[in-house]
Chain A
Amino acid sequence: MWTIAKKELKTYFLSPIGYIFIGIFLLMCSIFFYLDVVQYGSTNFEYMFYSAATVLTFIVPILTMRMFAEERKTGTEQLLFTSPRSITSIVCGKLLGAAMIILITEAFTAIYYIILTCFGTPHITTALITLLGYFLLAMTYISFGMFASSLTENQIIAGVITIAFFIVTWFMPNFIEATLDFSFINVFSNTFPTGSVTLSSLVLLISTPILFTILTILVLQRKKSVK
């Protein structure tokens, strides 16, 4: 698993993908930091994450669309799946690689926190809870993106499916109220940035990544006998 995660991380930074992801994220975060925090003269670090959560919708596909689609297109999946590694460890390795990118990105947001400490005393526990929530939200999105990537050999299609799914789960509660608890962004913004964690939000944001990881494994195993 580590071997594959390491290779994934390396690939992200050998191609521009890793830099583009972190770059766009930090650019947007800086704008939101100014608009949502600085302009109000607030020391609430977590405020900018309300908006930053929506950015994930558009940048997570950059990370995930190539995961399996590219390997299938170039044929390198033959090297991967004929190596003495189980499909589970390959899938988990890829997920871990992307998770590390998220952690790196989150580490960069410490800059904003440090800036705030110059002007006041921001609440550290709320900030950490927000970062945890943001990480879980990102993992939910990544696991779905990975699942979409395992379905096709066309990266663009994988990316479009992913964005479509995110937008649907984002706006769905506006039309069907019953789905309010399944809108990942709403679940995130209603709990974590307020400094509180609810059991239901934790369950949703942990079980969804697990669900899509299992689905990815199933898809890849099925492909083995259909291919």
Chain B
Amino acid sequence: MIEVKNVTKKYGSFTAVDNISFTVKDGEVIGFLGPNGAGKSTTMNMITGFIEPSEGTIMINGNDISKKAKKAKRQIGYMPENVPLYSELTVKEFVKYMTELKRMPRKQRKEDIEKVLKETGLEEVQNKLIRNLSRGYKQRVSLAGALVGNPEVLILDEPTVGLDPKQIIEIRNLIKELGKNHTVILSTHILPEVSQICERVIIINKGKIVAIDTPEHLEEKTKEENVLLLTVEDKEEHMGNIKEKLPKLKEIKMIKDNEDGTKQYMITSNADVDLRKDLFDILPKQNITIFELKKAEATLEDAFIRLINAKEEIEKASESIQNKKQDKEEKKKEKEAKKQEKKKQKEENKKERGEK
């Protein structure tokens, strides 16, 4: 079990991770999701004890990562971002070195090396220099390094970046397999990956947790609106009047103007309203021919973008309100200053006249 409590990481005045807390249960596969620079890698580096949080505690199976570092680190297998490897070693030498680094008992080492090489499909290249391997294989070597010593917790930082589609599927399947008897935290910015592998998702943006939920729940949340995609042939251009005829319709937007004279529209309505029947009724009466009508599926992608944008919009809004307040105050001050200047000028003028 991993417990992250009120963890903050600051670099000078910049806050990379801002007071985040979450727990990962034993045997759970959790996905870390967020745009670049959101603080995913920083959080993972803190969980593995590579960097120390400015505030907060991280417990790995009850061991504090900064106080009982050795015990905690022994239970973690870490695959860092950008797969750092000792390129002058062969695959087998590297895995052997990792078993030694992780303080495995001498007797178990040989067995474990063979097991790990087999699991990651590296047996064929085990005597090749890591330098000469392709990116996909390097990724596997890095994963093999994390798996050494059968740690309970696996932390994988972007495990599928830079792989070809076939390799991605292989690695995903491997992670799924590992998820059966390991606790896994993986970060990614590929959304389908999360819904395929992970039981829960943590969405993080600008160092703050935006949502923690199952992928299914997040998808459902975005279903607050019904979105239809409609392709029509509209020779008499009656589509503009449609909104008047359908009061329940919330918004209609043209998204594509096809070359064959058809146009595609996106129609949104509230979740409890299904406009499909009405559209089929009304459009033919306006001499509009329906070519295609389909319901747009809610995806995790939508959820992700909405959650992140929502936050940003709120922030922008509050910023602009503050800015406006500031502007008003400044204007007031300027006005007052001008008034005073005018008064002074008047008084001076009066004095001058008096003198004359």
Contacts and interface: CB of A to CB of B under 8 A. Distances in A.
Interface stretch (A72-80, A98-106, A120-128, A200-208): A72-80
A69 to B, nearest CB: 14
Interface in B7-54: 11, 45, 48-52, 54
B180 to A, nearest CB: 24
B80 to A, nearest CB: 4
B23 to A, nearest CB: 21
Given A224-B52, A227-B51, A80 B85 contact: no
B44 to A, nearest CB: 10
B301 interface: no
Interface string A1-18: 001100100010011000
Contacts of B80: 75, 78-79, 82
A82 B76 contact: yes
Interface string B56-77: 0000000000000111011010
Given A83-B73, A86-B70, A225-B52, A78 B100 contact: no
B78 A82 contact: yes
B50 A78 contact: yes
Contacts of A225: 51-52, 54
Contacts of B100: 3, 7
Contacts of B84: 74-79
B103 A14 contact: no
A224 B97 CA distance: 23
A7 B51 contact: no
Contacts of B11: 226
A15 B70 CA distance: 31
A84 B69 contact: yes
Given A3-B101, A15-B88, A84-B102, A79 B145 contact: yes
Nearest to A227: B51
Given A224-B51, A225-B51, A227-B51, A83 B88 contact: no
Given A75-B80, A78-B80, A84 B88 contact: no
B46 to A, nearest CB: 10
Contacts of B45: 78
A81 interface: yes
B86 interface: yes
Main secondary structure of the interface of A (DSSP, over half): helix
Contacts of A11: 86, 88
Given A84-B70, A86-B70, A79 B89 contact: no
Contacts of A14: 88-89
B52 A82 contact: no
Contact of A82 (B49, B89, B97): B49
B82 interface: yes
A82 B48 contact: yes
Given A11-B88, A14-B88, A74-B84, A80 B101 contact: yes
Which of A80, A83, A225, A226 gathers most chain B CB within 10 Å?
A: A83
Contacts of A81: 49-50
B98 interface: yes
A7 B103 contact: no
Contacts of A224: 50-52
Interface string A209-227: 0000000000000001111
Contacts of A3: 97, 100-101
Nearest to A73: B84
A3 B99 CA distance: 10
A82 B156 CA distance: 13
A81 B48 CA distance: 9
Contacts of B88: 11, 14-15
Contacts of A226: 11
A83 B101 contact: yes
Given A14-B88, A82-B48, A84-B102, A75 B73 contact: no
B50 A82 contact: yes
Given A75-B80, A224-B52, A84 B98 contact: no
Nearest to B142: A79
Contacts of A85: 70, 101, 103
Contacts of A74: 84-85, 87
A79 B101 CA distance: 9
Which of B70, B71, B84 gathers most chain A CB within 10 Å?
A: B84
Contacts of A78: 45, 48, 50, 78, 80, 84
Contacts of A82: 48-50, 73, 76, 78, 80
Given A3-B100, A80-B101, 6 more contacts: A7-B100, A11-B88, A79-B84, A224-B51, A225-B51, A227-B51
Interface of A: 3-4, 7, 11, 14-15, 74-86, 224-227
8 contacts: A11-B88, A15-B88, A81-B49, A81-B50, A83-B101, A84-B101, A85-B101, A226-B11
The 5 closest A-B pairs by CB, nearest first: A75-B84, A83-B101, A84-B73, A78-B80, A3-B100
